[in-house]
Amino acid sequence: MMANRTLLLGTLILGFVACRNSGQEAPPQEQLGAVELEAQPSALPPDPEQRLETAAVEVAAAVAPLIEYLPEGLSPLYQGFFADPQAIAGLRAGLAGQFSSPVATLKVIWDPSLQQGTITLHLPESERGFESLADAVLAREPLPMAGVAPLFAAVGDYRADLGARFDLRLLSFGIRLSWWDPRSGSHCVLGGVLNDPEGRVMAPCFSCPRAAGEPLEVCRTEDGSDGSDQARQALARALRSDL
């Protein structure tokens, strides 16, 4: 088992070639270390209109966050799938303009004991875009999900793209967003529902795991939200990070 290292993936990537094996492989079992990847600038096409389109894409890529890719428990083939340059570029495009931080962390885990995989986008601790959601959580008001839905959709599109181009079993990996407050230790996630291959339907509840006992939950309802005061405090702290 090699130690994981951080990967920063740009839109175009050198130094890593994923296996394009046409055969099917059993779900990933072996954890691999990371491989250093670097971005390579692309040449502009000769046609003026194509050059304008290419320039627009490059501008979008410039404001999109870089992806810190942290694989865990993945076989070489599956590690390559999740690091696919086209899929990473699509994920970055989906996240462009959605938050101010320059880097987002993508952690992909295969748990052999549970025979289960998860794709988690960890929102940066410095992100300040979830204040209104935290306020609504504490006020027991309807939860405004407009700032969360595009992030969730970007991860869902990333998984759907991988499943369509490589292996349909990748669609069985759960997707979720994660917030963490380093001061209080509050950590909360929002996952998806089962049997949603497009990855667009968010679960009704935010879940905040605890060291002991059942996770704390805050759930969206028709007229507001449901959850204990302890759960609301934990979620609000995670959404606001170190504020």
Kindly tell me if the per-residue pLDDT of 69 is higher than 90. Answer: yes
Mean pLDDT of the chain: 81
Which amino acid, 61? A
**Which residue matches tokens 């006992």?**
213
Bridge partners of residue 226, in order along the sequence: 219
Q: How many residues does the chain have?
A: 243
Helix axes 48-63, 85-95, angle to 10 degrees: 70
Burial of 230 (0-12, 13-18, 19+ CB in 10 A): exposed
**What's the pLDDT tens digit per position in 153-163?**
999 999 999 99
Kindly tell me if the per-residue pLDDT of 48 is higher than 90. Answer: no
For 134-159, what is the mean pLDDT? 96
**What's the pLDDT tens digit per position in 2-38?**
334 344 444 333 333 333 343 444 444 433 333 333 3
For 81-103, what is the mean pLDDT? 93
6 close to 70: Cβ distance less than 8 angstroms: yes
**What's the pLDDT tens digit per position in 179-212?**
999 888 899 999 999 889 999 999 999 999 998 8
Report strand pairing: 13-14 vs 174-180: unpaired
**Which residue matches tokens 């931080």?**
101
pLDDT value of residue 61: 52
Q: Measuring CA to CA, which residue among 77, 172, 176, 191 is closest to residue 115? A: 172
Nearest-angstrom CA–CA distance, 88 and 90: 5
